[in-house]
Chain A
Amino acid sequence: QVQLVQSGAEVKKPGASVKVSCKASGYTFSSYNVHWVRQAPGQRLEWMGRINAGNGNTKYSQKFQDRVTITRDTSASTAYMDLSSLRSEDTAVYYCARQVAGSLFDYWGQGTLVTVSP
């Protein structure tokens, strides 16, 4: 069965970077896009960017363009989201999601809590 399993919670200091992983199983990893979405406490979902797991092509939200890098390792069936220059407002749960086609984002990871605190 399809699964996206994310790495564990992180606590970071302001100015640091964080790298969250999303390991896929149960399907051909390189056949679909993987998106990253975050949700600050009590706030809405926010799209950050996506990677074409096949060719590695990326697209980022303008809001995060300067600070986010999404990569993948096809041999490990894993996508990564790296966010730099962390500030307190980046405290959030970060999700990865598989896009099959169109707006069909059918499987989501369990979420990774990133806490930014001095």
Chain B
Amino acid sequence: QSALTQPASVSGSPGQSITISCSGTSTDVGGYNYVSWYQQHPGKAPKLMIYDVSKRPSGVSNRFSGSKSDNTASLTISGLQAEDEADYYCSSYAGSSTWVFGGGTKLTVL
């Protein structure tokens, strides 16, 4: 199972919006509406930010949103804040009860 493809890094200034892409195939991202996004600060466990492509768990800011088109999912963070600086990972169901993660994207808030 190959990892999903994410940009290694993205950056933005406070208040701006950024989008992180997550590219897969028709057997994972494109085949199911089971894409999630995680935020991970150094030395911490991943925190779920988006699940089932575009749903936000309770307590997650509405500045975070998710979408999907064909084999590519996207996470958009609007109104960028300093505390958003972290690593972000996408994950997708890949069929037969298996899951796959992306390579991770380091977000820098300038």
Residues of chain A having any CB pair with chain B under 8 Å: 35, 37, 44-47, 50, 59, 61-63, 95, 97, 102-106, 108-111
Contact = CB atoms under 8 A, between A and B. Distances in A.
A103 B52 contact: yes
Contacts of B35: 103
Given A45-B40, A104-B51, A105-B51, 14 more contacts: A37-B101, A44-B104, A47-B100, A59-B98, A102-B34, A102-B93, A103-B34, A103-B36, A103-B93, A105-B48, A106-B48, A108-B47, A110-B45, A111-B45
Interface string B41-82: 000011110011001010000000000000000000000000
Contacts of A110: 45
A108 B98 CA distance: 18
A46 B101 contact: yes
A59 B104 contact: no
Given A102-B52, A104-B51, A59 B101 contact: no
Contact of B57 (A50, A59, A106): A106
Contacts of B98: 47, 59, 61
A47 B96 CA distance: 14
A61 B101 contact: no
Mostly helix, strand, loop or mixed at chain B's interface? strand
A37 to B, nearest CB: 8
Mostly helix, strand, loop or mixed at chain A's interface? strand
A50 B47 CA distance: 19
A46 B57 CA distance: 22
Nearest to B47: A108
15 contacts: A45-B46, A45-B89, A45-B104, A46-B101, A50-B97, A61-B1, A61-B98, A95-B45, A95-B46, A97-B46, A103-B51, A105-B51, A106-B48, A109-B45, A110-B45
Contacts of B38: 45
A62 B58 CA distance: 33
B46 A59 contact: no
A50 to B, nearest CB: 7
B101 A45 contact: yes
Given A45-B38, A110-B45, A111-B45, A103 B91 contact: yes
